[in-house]
Structure 1
Amino acid sequence: MSALADLHDGDHRLARHVASWRSDCARRVLPAVSEAAEHTKLWWGAALTMAAVGGWRGRRAAAAGVVSMAVAEVVSNCVIKQLWQRRRPPKEWFPNEEVHDRPDSSSFPSGHTAAAVGFTAAVAPVWPAAGAVCAVPAVMVAAERVHTGAHYPSDVVAGTAIGLAVAALVHRAPRLVARRLL
C-alpha cells in the first residue's frame, strides 16, 4: 500500500474514532464551542476584551489576531476550498445530531480551525498569557470540527497550517514592508 493510501486510511480511522467519543463533557462543551466559533464570534469577543482591558498590548494583540483571523479565513474559504473540492465525512460515521448541521462547502481545509489558530498564533507573541487562554478554545474548535463530522482530521491539520502561516506573515509583514521602503 502506498504512503498516500496509508494516510488516507489513517485519516478515516481517526475521524471515526473521534466521532465515537461518548464523553458527556464532549457532548456538552463542543457544541457550545462550535456555536461560539460560528462567524468568528468567539474571536471577535476575545479581541474586544483584549482591546478593552489589555492597554496597548491588548490592542496590539487584538489587531494582530483579527487581521490574521480574517486573512486565514479568506485563504482557506475563498481560495483553497474553491481549488480543492472534498466531500465531508459520511454522516453514517457520526452518531451525534450535529452531523446534520454541517456546511455544504468543501471539507478541505477547515476554515474554523484556520481562523482559530490564526487568531491565537497572532495573539501569542504579542501577549503570551492571552495567547495561552485563546489556545484552549482553539484546540476545542479543531476537535469539534472532527467530532461533529464537519471535517476529516487532515482538514483540521491543513487549517492549522494555514492559521500558523498567516499569523507568521502578519507578524513579519510590517518589517518586510519597512525594509522595502527604506
Structure 2
Amino acid sequence: MSVLTGVREVDRVLTQRAASRVPPGVARVLSAVEEAAEGTKLWCGAAAVMVWRGGWRGRKAAAAGLAALVMAQLASNGLCKQLADRPRPPEELIPHDEVEDRPDSSSFPSGHTAAAVAFTAAVAASWPVAGAVCAVPAAVVGVQRVQSGAHYPSDVAAGAVIGLVCARLVWRTPRLLLRLGKRRLHP
C-alpha cells in the first residue's frame, strides 16, 4: 500500500467517525462557530475588538492577523485549491444533513482552517493572550470542517500548515526587508 493510499484510507475513516460521533448539541455549536467564521466575519470582528480595546498592541496584533489571513486565503483558495482539485468527502460517509451545504470547490486544502490558523498565529506572536483566546474558535473551525463533511482531516492539516507559514511570513517579512535594505546600503 502506498503512502497516499494510506493517507486516503485514514482520511476516510476519520471523516466518517467525526461525522457520526458528534452529539447534536455539539454539532450545533460547531456549526455556529463555523458560520461566524464564514467570510472571515469572526476574525474581522476579533480584529475590530483588538483595535478598540487593545491599544497599540491590539492594533499591531489585528494588523498582523488580518495580513496573515489574507495571505492564507490567497494561498489556499487562490492557488492550492486550483491546483489540487480534490473532491469533497463522499456523501455516504456523512450521516447528517450538513453535507448538503458544502461548497463545490476543491476540498484540498481547507481555506477556513488556513484563515483561522493564520489569523490566530499572527495575533499570538504580538499578543499571546489574544492569540490564546482566538485559538479556541480556530480549533473549532478545523474540527467542524471535518465533522460537517466539507473536508478530510488531511485538508484541515494542510490548511493549518498554510496558516502557520503565512503567519510566519507576516512576522518575518519586515525583518527580511530591513536586512536586505542594509545590505544594499552597505555592500
User: What TM-score do you get using the length of structure 2 for normalisation?
Assistant: 0.95
Matched residue, 1:18: 18
Question: Which moved further from structure 2: 56-65 or 7-16?
Answer: 7-16
Question: Which moved further from structure 2: 73-82 or 22-31?
Answer: 22-31
Q: Distance in 1 between matches of 2:176 and 2:87?
A: 38
Cα deviation 1:87-135 (Å, max 9, x = unaligned): 0001121122211010000000000000000000000010000000000
Q: Report the RMSD for the aligned CA atoms in angstroms.
A: 0.9
Residue 70 of structure 1 and its aligned partner are, at CA, apart by 0.5
Give the residue type in structure 2 aligned to 1:175: R
Q: Distance in 2 between matches of 1:4 and 1:91?
A: 21
Q: Distance in 2 between matches of 1:80 and 1:65?
A: 21
Q: Distance in 2 between matches of 1:31 and 1:72?
A: 22
Matched residue, 1:135: 135
Q: Distance in 1 between matches of 2:27 and 2:179?
A: 50
Q: Summarize the alignment of residues 81-96 of structure 1 with structure 2, pairs less than 5 Å apart.
A: 81-96=81-96
Q: Which has the larger radius of gyration?
A: 2
Residue 5 of structure 1 and its aligned partner are, at CA, apart by 1.5
Give the residue type in structure 2 aligned to 1:118: A
Matched residue, 2:34: 34
Residue 140 of structure 1 and its aligned partner are, at CA, apart by 0.2
Cα deviation 1:57-111 (Å, max 9, x = unaligned): 0000000000000100000000011111100001121122211010000000000
Identity, in percent, stands at 59
Residue 3 of structure 1 and its aligned partner are, at CA, apart by 2.5
Q: Secondary structure at the match of 1:155?
A: helix
Question: Which moved further from structure 2: 12-21 or 25-34?
Answer: 25-34
Q: Summarize the alignment of residues 79-158 of structure 1 with structure 2, pairs less than 5 Å apart.
A: 79-158=79-158
Q: Secondary structure at the match of 1:177?
A: helix
Q: Distance in 1 between matches of 2:16 and 2:39?
A: 26
Q: Distance in 1 between matches of 2:28 and 2:145?
A: 14
Residue 139 of structure 1 and its aligned partner are, at CA, apart by 0.3
Q: Distance in 1 between matches of 2:84 and 2:24?
A: 35
Cα deviation 1:38-58 (Å, max 9, x = unaligned): 100000000000010000000
Q: Show structure 1 runs of 5+ residues with no match.
A: none
Q: Summarize the alignment of residues 44-83 of structure 1 with structure 2, pairs less than 5 Å apart.
A: 44-83=44-83
Asked if the contact 2:22–2:147 (Cα under 8 Å) also holds between the matched residues in 1, the reply is no
Residue 23 of structure 1 and its aligned partner are, at CA, apart by 1.4
Aligned residues: 182
Q: Show structure 2 runs of 5+ residues with no match.
A: 183-187
Q: Distance in 1 between matches of 2:66 and 2:154?
A: 25
Give the residue type in structure 2 aligned to 1:162: I
Q: Secondary structure at the match of 2:61?
A: helix
Q: Distance in 2 between matches of 1:121 and 1:40?
A: 15
